[in-house]
């Protein structure tokens, strides 16, 4: 078989597997937004079946034969061509899939589907013991997965590879330690500053339907295409890419927590913009996907914080906010509002955390899930370890499980290794914004005029449209001129919050 024919067969099979995976995405979205509780058991069986079918596709011996026929051929001689990228990344994915037994893949899909529902109930009841049997089972399965995949330096690396190819636990641990060390003095300076944010204005009554309206208008203004996506409510915000022309984002609204819903919406909008900007002709193949979750999270954190908390953004949107929430904002000026949404203080909830302390939350989760995978922490001891981690790094401790170890859905979904990508996203987002400002000029001026197209087009050209052509590190370096670097994040936070609070 010649290389062209083998490649065509390989891509057809890959895209068919992608269609099956998109069915799983749709079922997962439905489960989290509108499925009746009585459907949990059946949904678990559906997810297990689909996971098994997808695994069969990835481990089909013919894929290996087709890959071998293409590798080393003139068709992939140009390493940055779509053909070469697809072959390179498919080899990595197929080799990984072949290490995992079908039975393990199916069981993980079924258990996590059921566990996710039990986590939601346990969170509402603030009862970790109800979720404990599910966590124990998931940790056991993930450790079996690690043993199946193998590793060199750290078993946690095997799970990181799923989300951030090439990342290593040792490097991430050093990054988190460095960020926490450099930002802790800034937290102290801000909390000790003479200026104080009146966060009470954000806990007034903001009618839910008007919050939905405001969120939808902001999402559309920055470029989220509602003819190719939708926004819904759920327990824990997430995005789901069903396929070209169908990107689902979710948020959660609370009457007296305006910031939580709005910035969660912008976070998911960032994911949605990325998905809507990927090359649709390559859907289902590596060239039509992000190279890593860190890159994906960089877009969520960029639109949520670098754009969504900027002075220019609110110069444009604050008049609309005052119109929609005349009672809540009746006596609030723009400067007071800006200070409120930049309030810095140790807090218990990651989603609601400010930019300066956010990575402290990630450090706690990173260390705990790494200990769970190593076997150094028993699932039953997670609440105590969580509380101790918050005392050590954040300076406060939760009073119950709901505001503590049950606040995130990631472990219920089996997503061990995901949390560090939020910190990588913060680092990359700051680097991208600094580079964009050099090319486009003062972004606050553009935002104040309601002009977000220039930034979105810049990101589309340098990030979205490239798909999986480059590794995460290469993509960042090509877009910004330098490898991934945490210093722009430190500089941006010191500059922005220093000006707001009058500290250095």
Residue of 365, 466, 483, 465 lying closest to 419 (CA atoms): 365
Place of tokens 């007034």: 204
- Give 55-75 as a DSSP string: HHHHH-HHHHHHHHHHTTSGG
> What's the sign of the alpha-carbon dihedral 388, 392, 393, 398?
positive
The burial of 174, by beta-carbon neighbours within 10 Å (0-12 exposed, 13-18 middle, 19 or more buried), is given as exposed
Region class of 414: left (phi > 0), else alpha (psi between -120 and 50), else beta: left
Map tokens 């199916």 to a residue. 106
Taking residue 483's Cβ as centre, other Cβ atoms within 10 Å add up to 10
Q: Are 283 and 243 a contacting pair, CB within 8 Å?
A: yes
Separation CA 396–CA 338 (nearest Å): 25
The residue among 354, 357, 315 whose CA lies nearest residue 335 is 315
- The answer to whether 147 is a known catalytic residue is no
DSSP assignment of 322-351: HHH-TTTTTT--HHHHHHHHT-----S-TT
For the chain, the C-alpha Rg in angstroms (whole number) is 23
Angstrom distance (rounded) from CA 501 to CA 504: 9
Of 83, 145, 268, 466, catalytic: 268
C-alpha to C-alpha distances, 128 to 95, 234, 401, nearest whole angstrom: 37, 21, 6
User: CA torsion, points 293, 442, 444, 343, in degrees to nearest 10?
Assistant: 70
Which active-site residues does the annotation give? 268
């Amino acid at each position: 078989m010649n290389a062209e024919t083998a490649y065509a067969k390989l891509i057809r099979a890959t895209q068919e597997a992608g269609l099956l995976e998109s069915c799983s995405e749709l079922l997962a979205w439905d489960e989290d937004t509108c499925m009746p509780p009585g459907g949990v058991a059946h949904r678990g069986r559906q997810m297990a079946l689909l996971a098994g079918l997808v695994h069969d596709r990835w481990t089909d011996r013919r894929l290996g034969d087709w890959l071998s026929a293409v590798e080393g051929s003139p068709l992939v001689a140009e390493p940055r061509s779509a053909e070469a990228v697809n072959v390179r990344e498919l080899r990595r994915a197929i080799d990984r899939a072949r290490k995992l037994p079908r039975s393990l893949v199916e069981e993980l899909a079924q258990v996590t589907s059921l566990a996710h529902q039990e986590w939601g109930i346990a969170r509402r009841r603030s009862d970790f013991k109800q979720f404990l049997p599910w966590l124990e089972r998931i940790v056991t399965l993930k450790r079996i997965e690690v043993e199946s995949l193998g590793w060199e330096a750290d078993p946690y690396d095997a799970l990181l590879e799923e989300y951030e190819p090439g990342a290593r636990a040792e490097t991430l641990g050093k990054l988190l330690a460095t960020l926490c060390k450099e930002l802790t003095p800034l937290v102290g300076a801000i909390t000790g500053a003479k200026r104080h944010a009146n966060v009470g204005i954000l806990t007034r009554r903001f009618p839910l339907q008007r919050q939905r309206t405001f969120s939808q208008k902001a999402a559309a203004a920055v470029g989220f295409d509602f003819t190719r996506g939708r926004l819904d409510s759920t327990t824990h915000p997430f995005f789901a890419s069903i396929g070209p022309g169908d990107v689902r984002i979710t948020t959660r609204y609370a009457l007296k927590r305006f910031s939580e819903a709005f910035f969660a919406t912008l976070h998911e909008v960032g994911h949605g913009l990325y998905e809507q900007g990927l090359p649709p002709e390559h859907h289902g193949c590596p060239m039509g996907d992000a190279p890593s979750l860190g890159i994906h999270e960089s877009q969520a954190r960029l639109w949520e914080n670098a754009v969504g908390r900027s002075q220019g953004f609110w110069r444009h949107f604050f008049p609309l906010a005052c119109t929609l929430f005349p009672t809540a904002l009746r006596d609030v000026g723009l400067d007071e509002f800006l200070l409120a949404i930049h309030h810095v203080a140790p807090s218990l909830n990651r989603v609601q955390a400010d930019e300066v302390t956010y990575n402290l939350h990630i450090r706690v989760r990173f260390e705990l899930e790494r200990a769970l995978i190593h076997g150094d922490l028993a699932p039953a001891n997670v609440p105590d370890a969580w509380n101790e981690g918050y005392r050590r790094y954040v300076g406060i401790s939760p009073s119950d499980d709901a505001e503590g170890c049950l606040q995130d859905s990631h472990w219920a979904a089996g997503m061990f290794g995901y949390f560090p990508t939020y910190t990588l996203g913060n680092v990359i987002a700051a680097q991208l914004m600094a580079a964009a400002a050099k090319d486009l000029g003062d972004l606050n001026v553009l935002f104040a005029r309601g002009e977000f197209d220039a930034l979105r087009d810049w990101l589309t050209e340098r990030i979205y449209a490239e798909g999986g052509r480059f590794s995460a590190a290469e993509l960042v370096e090509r877009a910004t001129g330098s490898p991934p670097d945490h210093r722009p994040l430190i500089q941006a936070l010191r500059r922005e919050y220093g000006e707001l609070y009058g500290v250095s």
